[in-house]
Copies of this chain bind each other. A is one copy, B any other.
Amino acid sequence: MTHEAGIPLGIRFKLLSDSPQDSAAQVVSEVVVGDHRDLDTLREFARGCDVITFDHEHVPTEHLRALEADGIPVRPGPDALVHAQDKGVMRAKLMAIGVPCPRHRIVSDARDVAAFAAEGDGFPVVLKTVRGGYDGKGVWVVDSVEEAAEPFRAGVPVLAEEKVDFVRELAANVVRSPHGQAVAYPVVESQQVDGVCDTVIAPAPGLDEELALKAEEMALGIAKELGVVGHLAVELFQTRDGRVLVNELAMRPHNSGHWSMDGAITSQFANHVRAVLDLPLGDPRPRARWTVMVNVLGGDYPDMYSAYLHCMARDPQLKIHMYGKDVKPGRKVGHVNTYGDDLDDVLERARHAAGYLRGTITE
């Protein structure tokens, strides 16, 4: 999707990919298949690149520092990206700059977890490995000291957090360029199912204007303080008492910003590309009253193409974005966007299409 956004600007991508079957590898013309954890591979790949960016956070921080030392611009840079790679570093930094977070502590065993619970409202407690988590992986909600043993088995440091009593989840997406220009997308509502993002509504319905502004300012502040270059997604909890707390950070175009491909004047992907190249940023404002994104998860049908017929015929305004991934149950294999003036209608159209593509709706 980043490549797609680069085409109109004549930006040529070279891709380092785990496999030739990767989504991006199917559409980018210059692909190097290799391991992003291997410094020699990265160095060889980086030769001749004007700038390096990412669609995930898993390149080791120290390798990025080595590339920078070689004189290759890395955007976002390792000093910023580490906050999206390591939840311990992220929490410490956010606290230091005064950003409200859930109560949390690095814990070293189940007894530690019990102590952390006792200091607050008791169990349940959320445990997260500080590195490597994704879409609910590496996250446990534990109800007792017995259950708390599991997360420590991987030997990775574990972060304990209070289970926030939230009304809903929000996301504030911002983009920042090297010379400090920044833009904020409208704050969206993000609905999760089984720990995986399912639906995003832009803008978040009924969100108090003051709270929306506060969330945007908070995201812009984090981007600035952390020296982010490119897209920053700040996942937020909206609490019952009208506050927002930071849940997670992502430093790349993010699922909570996919709506912008069809719903904003400039998409998150286009603005990420602009920021990485230090070009002036595009207008992030919405083009429609409501835009809804629903993820398409892998379901019963290995081939979703035949479902296009029904979905496109039923809704000529529907925007389908499939990633060319092998369909596996529960895997994010695409998303749909819809927009319009009537939120119920827009939601129904997006959910119907996503459900039909997955195979959970058959009429």
Contacts and interface: CB of A to CB of B under 8 A. Distances in A.
Contacts of A322: 8-10
A360 interface: no
Given A27-B29, A29-B27, A317 B9 contact: no
Interface in A123-145: none
A121 to B, nearest CB: 45
A10 B323 contact: yes
B10 A309 contact: no
A73 interface: no
A331 B296 CA distance: 42
B9 A7 contact: no
11 contacts: A8-B319, A8-B321, A10-B334, A12-B26, A26-B29, A266-B316, A274-B312, A279-B308, A280-B312, A280-B313, A282-B316
Interface string A273-289: 01000011111000100
Interface in A257-279: 265-266, 274, 279
A31 interface: yes
Contact of A31 (B29, B317, B321, B323): B29
B265 A320 contact: no
Contacts of A31: 29
Interface in A148-170: none
A281 B8 contact: no
A270 to B, nearest CB: 9
Given A312-B274, A313-B280, A316-B282, A28 B29 contact: yes
A62 to B, nearest CB: 32
Given A10-B334, A279-B309, A279-B312, 7 more contacts: A3-B7, A9-B308, A10-B305, A265-B316, A280-B309, A282-B317, A283-B316
A195 interface: no
Contact of A27 (B7, B282, B312, B320): B7
Contacts of A280: 308-309, 312-313, 316
Nearest to A277: B308
- Work out how many copies of this chain go into the complex: 2
Interface residues of A, number: 37
Which 5 A-B pairs rank lowest in CB-CB distance, beginning with the nearest?
A: A280-B312, A280-B313, A283-B316, A10-B322, A8-B321
A324 interface: yes
Q: Which of A10, A12, A319, A323 has the most CB of B within 10 A?
A: A10
A4 B8 contact: yes
Contacts of A282: 312, 316-318
Contacts of A3: 7, 27
A51 B8 CA distance: 25
A80 B4 CA distance: 31
Nearest to A281: B316
Given A7-B4, A26-B29, A27-B29, A265 B308 contact: no
Contacts of A318: 282
B320 A9 contact: yes
Nearest to A282: B316
A198 B136 CA distance: 52
B8 A320 contact: yes
Given A266-B316, A274-B312, A280-B309, A324 B10 contact: yes
A223 B283 CA distance: 38
A309 to B, nearest CB: 6
A334 B10 CA distance: 10
A70 B156 CA distance: 60
